[in-house]
C-alpha cells in the first residue's frame, strides 16, 4: 500500500518562504527557561511544562535505548476544538488537528559522538522502521552561531494504528553538542494536508536562544 504524499508536497510547496513572526492573529510562546520561542495561531492551545507534569511520555520525545537525553525544558500545543492535555496522548495518526511541542534535551557525553541525522530525527519520530515511510523534505539547516541540525517532513505508517501520519520537525544541536533543541508538529495525513500552511508557519517561526 503506497503512502499518499502528493497532496502534502503540493500543500507545502518548497517549504514556503519565511512568514512574518508575531503577525496579527498569533501568540508568541516561550518555555519557562526562555530557551525556545514560537508563534502560534491565537486559537491554538498552549500547554506549559507544569501542565504536562502528569504526562509520563512527552509528545515527540523518544527515549532510545543507550541514548541518555533527558528533557530539561518543554511546552506543547494543539489546534483542537476542545483543549485538553488528553489530546497529547492520542496516536499522531488519529489526531484530526495539529499537535506539537518544543523540547530542549541534554545530550550525555557518551552520546555526543554518535549524534547524526538518524538520531536527530529518530528521537522525535521513530519512522525508520515503519512499514511505509517517505521523507517528503529533508535538508540540513544552520540556525546561526554554529547551531546545526536537520529539517524534515516525514509521512509514515503508524504501526499502532496502521494509519498514515505526517510530521514536520526541526532537530538541532548547539556548537558543543551538549544540548538538543527540537520542534515538531504532526497529525493524520488528511489533517496535515488541510493544515499545511499553518503548520509550516508555526515551525518557521520557531526560534532557539543561542545566547544560552
Sorted by where each begins, the domain ranges of the chain are 6-208
Q: Is residue 59 very low, low, confident or very high in pLDDT (cuts 50, 70, 90)?
A: confident
The β-bridge relationship of strands 26-30 and 36-41 is antiparallel
Closest C-alpha among 31, 27, 70 to residue 49: 31
pLDDT per residue as tens digits for the range 26-47? 999 999 889 999 999 999 999 9
Q: What is the reported pTM?
A: 0.89
Residue 56: what pLDDT? 77
Q: Which superfamily does CATH assign the domain made up of 6-208 to? A: Mog1/PsbP, alpha/beta/alpha sandwich (3.40.1000.10)
Residue 18: what pLDDT? 34
Residue 58: what pLDDT? 79
Residue 9: what pLDDT? 54
**Within 13 Å, how many C-alpha atoms sit on residue 133's CB side?**
19
Question: Residue 136, Cβ neighbours under 10 Å: how many?
Answer: 18
Residue 20: what pLDDT? 36
Amino acid at each position: 500500500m503506497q503512502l499518499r504524499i502528493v497532496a502534502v508536497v503540493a500543500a507545502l510547496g518548497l517549504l514556503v518562504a519565511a512568514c512574518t513572526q508575531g503577525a496579527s492573529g498569533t501568540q508568541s510562546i516561550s518555555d519557562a527557561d526562555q530557551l525556545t520561542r514560537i508563534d502560534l495561531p491565537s486559537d491554538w492551545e498552549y500547554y506549559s511544562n507544569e501542565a504536562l507534569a502528569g504526562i509520563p511520555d512527552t509528545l515527540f520525545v523518544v527515549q532510545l535505548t543507550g541514548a541518555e537525553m533527558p528533557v530539561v525544558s518543554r511546552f506543547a500545543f494543539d489546534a483542537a476544538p476542545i483543549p485538553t492535555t488528553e489530546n497529547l496522548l492520542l496516536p499522531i495518526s488519529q489526531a484530526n488537528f495539529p499537535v506539537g511541542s518544543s523540547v530542549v534535551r541534554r545530550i550525555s557525553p557518551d552520546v555526543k559522538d554518535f549524534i547524526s541525522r538518524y538520531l536527530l530525527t529518530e528521537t522525535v519520530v521513530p519512522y525508520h522502521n515503519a512499514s511505509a515511510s517517505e521523507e517528503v523534505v529533508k535538508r540540513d539547516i544552520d540556525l546561526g552561531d554554529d547551531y546545526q541540525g536537520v529539517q524534515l517532513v516525514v509521512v509514515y505508517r503508524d504501526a499502532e494504528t496502521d494509519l498514515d501520519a505526517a510530521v514536520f520537525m526541526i532537530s538541532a544541536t548547539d556548537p558543543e553538542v551538549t544540548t538538543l533543541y527540537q520542534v515538531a508538529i504532526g497529525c493524520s495525513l488528511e489533517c496535515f494536508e488541510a493544515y499545511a500552511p499553518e503548520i509550516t508557519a508555526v515551525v518557521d517561526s520557531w526560534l532557539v536562544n543561542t545566547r544560552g
